[in-house]
Amino acid sequence: MARLAFGGDYNPEQWPESVWHEDVRLMREAGVTTVSVGIFSWALLEPAPGAYEFGWLDRVIDLLHENGIDVDLGTPTVAPPKWFYDQRPDALPVTADGARLGFGSRGAICHSNQAYRDASTRITEQLARRYGKHPAVVMWHVHNEYGVPVSACYCDGCAAHFRRWLAATYETVEAVNEVWGTAFWGQRYASLDEIDPPRTTPTVGNPAQQLDYKRFADATMRENFVRERDVLHRLAPGIPVTTNFMTALSQCDSVDYWAWGREVDVVTNDHYLITDGRRTHVNLAMAADLTRSVAGGDPWLLLEHSTSGVNWQARNPAKAPGQMARNSLGHVARGSEGAMFFQWRQSRRGAEKFHSSMVPHAGTDSRVWREVCELGSAIGQLGGIEGTRTVADVAMLWDWQSWWAQNLEWRPTEDHDARERADSFYEALYDRHLTVDFAHPEADLSAYPLVVVPALYLATEAASLNLREYVENGGTLVVSYFSGIVDEHDAVHPGAYPGAFRDVLGLTVEEWSPLLAGESVGLSGPDGSRVTGDVWTEFVVPRGAEPVWTYEDGLTAGRPAITRHAYGAGTAWYVSTRLGASDLDTVLASALADAGVGDRPELPRDVEVLTRAGATGRYVFVINHTPDEAKVPLADPGVDVLSGDRVSGRVCVPAGAVRVVRVEA
């Protein structure tokens, strides 16, 4: 993008044309640069099969262009019209229980359905031909949030498509029988043609089959994205193509964004605060870091977040004054090339009429509108940072496929939650003011002094080798329990746990022993330090590693609980129980010392300091989430980008405010 983007989803079809003129006037007042248009407009663009009505969209796009506003143009393939389903009811998805979902919401799509594929190709071709040369169109927005609300369909068409996927992946039924372990419970197949999707079964279904079905469903959605993308590339060359991700929201855990990141021209993300009582800005930081990582560290764009409350959680509080700007600029600090919202004007009708927007029901004499205008002006002043990259300190391994496998049924305890471990490790690093890159387990890790591995249940041979090499070459690794247990088919690595990581960790685990609800165990460590674990304990047998903390009670009393292994030029730590935040911090402090990563004791809790650097300079973002003024030391003097004031020594950031300093170094 040529400039930082500020704007949101614009749905003019919900309003009479007279409102459009007020819309663009207000957009200019707010400093809007970019809007996403047409995401759900198929039924209006093609009201009857093959009969197109582009006039209204022509007028909208021209009006925006006349007012200097760029368009991120949707392909409306998430919302096929009713006539389409009446012709092809088989395009409606079927649940694992065999229920066919109905029309009247959105995203009711069987991604294997050929009629859906053909119809969505045709509407995409029409849009590409008509608008591919329009100077307002700066990006294509394919579909909407693949993976929600439906991530997999279990219809007969999908069954046939799954068989083709299995044939392409494994070639023979023997290979499928082998990797799925169908010898267990008598599930052996004589031919690929016998295989169905993992529909609802009397008790636990084959885990490897379920895992493969998740891969298949993800790949099937990706086929559809790639097909539309290729149409757009062919008919409208030069315009980048994206689709909006939801990287760190557990509402959307069915998409392997590492694979998708390679297919889009620009990574874009949607993020909403999860108001479940936890610190929302930490989840936001994690989502933004993960999105940047999926983009390979390149700039990305926050395509949707909210000006205030959403309307789809159990409780939807408004944002506090200043919180929207902190959220938006928090994403920018972590690599977003701007900040966009769902949606421009709050709907009067429909399912999302209580979701906040840039122009609220309360109108322009409102706090939300005033803050929107202030933010638009701030983002305008940040021009120059485009293309700079966020500087990270450490890495965390992250793998959607491992998460899928981990979440299958009949695990040693239902209290262990891989996502909870990732959140907790992230929060501990966040509280140490470390900027985190996420990395795929097989990615090059050599740039990072420290890599943490929270509950990576599934690890391939390649990941195992990767971590050995990383530590051998001087890296510091911290691995939490229930990691490196199975291969890509959910088969236990041969020998003692944790098969993929026992060499690098210098230990084996004879047996694990999850704790009962409410139970905990004490651990004693160096200089009398004590920490507490819950949920999980293990019988760890050191094979080169030294015990650093030891279980004091429970079945594992007297055995090593947290170990350190000097391996090659590096060090690998293992944490065999679940530690709470402050105890995790104690252990991370030791690992960070091994890694030579210094403390930042001068920074208060909940004050973020991030750096974006590149050809146009070095920008330090200070985001103060606290109710007190924060004074943050600056290594080099600079200029406050938003006020133009010179700053040296330290920057003072009022309660709840954000400062961006362009430093001279």
Say whether residue 355 binds ligand GLA (CB under 6 A). Answer: yes
Which of ligand GLA, Zn ion, none does 641 bind, CB closer than 5 to 8 A by kind?
A: none
Say whether residue 310 binds ligand GLA (CB under 6 A). Answer: yes
Residue closer to Zn ion (CB basis): 109 or 443: 109
- Angle 52-53-55 from CA coordinates, rounded to 5°: 145
User: Is the Cβ–Cβ distance between 550 and 559 less than 8 Å?
Assistant: yes
Say whether residue 342 binds ligand GLA (CB under 6 A). Answer: yes
Q: Is 135 exposed, middle or buried (0-12, 13-18, 19+ CB in 10 A)?
A: exposed
Which of Zn ion, ligand GLA, none does 144 bind, CB closer than 5 to 8 A by kind?
A: ligand GLA
According to DSSP, residue 489 is labeled T
Residue closer to ligand GLA (CB basis): 77 or 182: 77
Question: For ligand GLA, which stretch binds (CB under 6 A), given 304-312, 361-369, 478-486, 505-513?
Answer: 304-312
Residue closer to Zn ion (CB basis): 153 or 418: 153
The overall longest dimension of the chain from CA atoms, in Å, is 78
How far, in Å, CA of 176 to CA of 458, rounded? 19
Rounded to the nearest whole angstrom, what is the least distance from the CB of residue 54 to Zn ion in the complex? 31
Query: Given candidates 352, 374, 552, 606, which one binds ligand GLA under the rule CB under 6 A?
Result: 352
Residue 336 vs residues 259, 270, 302, 436, 574: alpha-carbon distances, Å: 20, 11, 6, 15, 34
Rounded to the nearest whole angstrom, what is the least distance from the CB of residue 157 to Zn ion in the complex? 5
How far, in Å, CA of 195 to CA of 192, rounded? 6
Say whether residue 72 binds ligand GLA (CB under 6 A). Answer: no
Which residues inside 157-196 make contact with Zn ion, applying CB under 5 A?
157-158
Say whether residue 150 binds Zn ion (CB under 5 A). Answer: no
Which residues inside 256-275 make contact with ligand GLA, applying CB under 6 A?
270
Q: What is the DSSP string of 182-208?
A: TTGGG---SSGGG-------SSPPPHH
Helix, coil or strand: residue 255: coil
Residue closer to ligand GLA (CB basis): 246 or 443: 246
Q: Write down the residue that tokens 């900040």 correspond to.
A: 339
Task: Specify whether 145 is catalytic.
Answer: yes
User: Is the Cβ–Cβ distance between 33 and 6 less than 8 Å?
Assistant: yes
How far, in Å, CA of 300 to CA of 260, rounded? 14
Query: Given candidates 172, 312, 321, 473, which one binds ligand GLA under the rule CB under 6 A?
Result: 312
Rounded to the nearest whole angstrom, what is the least distance from the CB of residue 11 to ligand GLA in the complex? 9
Say whether residue 145 binds ligand GLA (CB under 6 A). Answer: yes
Rounded to the nearest whole angstrom, what is the least distance from the CB of residue 544 to Zn ion in the complex? 51
Say whether residue 155 binds Zn ion (CB under 5 A). Answer: yes
Instruction: Choose the catalytic residue: 228, 304, 337, 608.
Output: 304
Task: With CA atoms as reference, report the closest residue to 631 among 622, 642, 641.
Answer: 622
Radius of gyration of the CA atoms of the chain, in A: 26
Q: What is the DSSP string of 44-100?
A: HH-SBTTB---HHHHHHHHHHHHTT-EEEEEE-TTS--HHHHHH-GGGS-B-TTSPB
Residue 109 vs residues 113, 229, 403, 446: alpha-carbon distances, Å: 8, 18, 24, 42
Residue closer to ligand GLA (CB basis): 120 or 556: 120
Which residues, 6 or more positions from 524, have their beta carbon under 8 angstroms from its beta carbon? Answer: 530, 549, 550, 552
Rounded to the nearest whole angstrom, what is the least distance from the CB of residue 399 to ligand GLA in the complex? 24
How far, in Å, CA of 101 to CA of 478, rounded? 45
Residue 297 vs residues 239, 335, 388, 428, 615: alpha-carbon distances, Å: 21, 8, 10, 22, 15
Instruction: Choose the catalytic residue: 46, 145, 337, 371.
Output: 145
Task: Specify whether 125 is catalytic.
Answer: no
User: Is the Cβ–Cβ distance between 337 and 612 less than 8 Å?
Assistant: no
Say whether residue 357 binds ligand GLA (CB under 6 A). Answer: no
Residue closer to Zn ion (CB basis): 114 or 524: 114
Say whether residue 632 binds Zn ion (CB under 5 A). Answer: no
Residue closer to ligand GLA (CB basis): 304 or 442: 304
Residue closer to ligand GLA (CB basis): 185 or 312: 312
Say whether residue 286 binds Zn ion (CB under 5 A). Answer: no
Which residues inside 79-118 make contact with Zn ion, applying CB under 5 A?
110, 112
Say whether residue 422 binds Zn ion (CB under 5 A). Answer: no
The residues binding Zn ion (CB under 5 A) are 110, 112, 153, 155, 157-158
Give the residue numbers marked as catalytic.
145, 304
The residues binding ligand GLA (CB under 6 A) are 144-145, 270, 304, 310, 312, 342, 352, 355
